[in-house]
């Protein structure tokens, strides 16, 4: 079975502070990991995928297979980063995404 855990439902930081949203997963094979973001009243958007090893809007995430983690990081948070963030996992080809419960990030001025 595959599972995604986001231990923090709420996370609040000040503008300019570093932010880390935690994600741990359980899956016995080779997963593909994603971060999705949902801004207020907007659709869910793909933010990052681990296979791309990219930085989007200043966010990065590294897959740590030893710790089964895929934490999302940004060195300097901005107010516009305030949103709901979901970590998701896909197992074998064609299988559905498994989502974590989400972390609501609030960046205070």
Partner 1 sequence: GAVVSQHPSWVICKSGTSVKIECRSLDFQATTMFWYRQFPKQSLMLMATSNEGSKATYEQGVEKDKFLINHASLTLSTLTVTSAHPEDSSFYICSARDRHRFSRAEYFGPGTRLTVT
Binding site for partner 1 (CB under 8 A): 32, 34, 36, 42-46, 49, 51-52, 86, 90, 93-97, 99-102
In the bound complex, what is the minimum distance in angstroms from residue 66's beta carbon to partner 1?
Answer: 22
The answer to whether 86 touches 100, Cβ cutoff 8 Å, is: yes
In the bound complex, what is the minimum distance in angstroms from residue 97's beta carbon to partner 1?
Answer: 6
CB-side neighbour CA atoms (13 Å) of 46: 9
Nearer to partner 1, 78 or 92 (CB): 92
Output the CA angle 39-106-63, nearest 5 degrees: 75
3 state DSSP class of 70: coil
Pairing of strands 3-5, 24-26: antiparallel
In the bound complex, what is the minimum distance in angstroms from residue 18's beta carbon to partner 1?
Answer: 25
Nearer to partner 1, 49 or 74 (CB): 49
Nearer to partner 1, 17 or 46 (CB): 46
In the bound complex, what is the minimum distance in angstroms from residue 95's beta carbon to partner 1?
Answer: 8
Residue in 74, 102, 88, 100 with CA at minimum distance from that of residue 13: 74
Nearer to partner 1, 39 or 76 (CB): 39
């Amino acid at each position: 079975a595959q599972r995604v855990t986001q231990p923090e439902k709420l996370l609040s930081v000040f503008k300019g502070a570093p932010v880390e949203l935690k994600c741990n997963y359980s899956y016995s094979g080779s997963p593909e990991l994603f971060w999705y973001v949902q801004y207020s009243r907007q659709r869910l958007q793909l933010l990052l995928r681990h296979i791309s090893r990219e930085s989007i809007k200043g966010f990065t995430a590294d897959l740590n297979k030893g710790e089964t983690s895929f934490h999302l990081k940004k060195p300097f948070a901005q107010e516009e980063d305030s949103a709901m963030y979901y970590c998701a996992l896909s197992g074998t080809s064609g299988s559905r995404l498994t989502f974590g419960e989400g972390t609501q990030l609030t960046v205070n001025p």
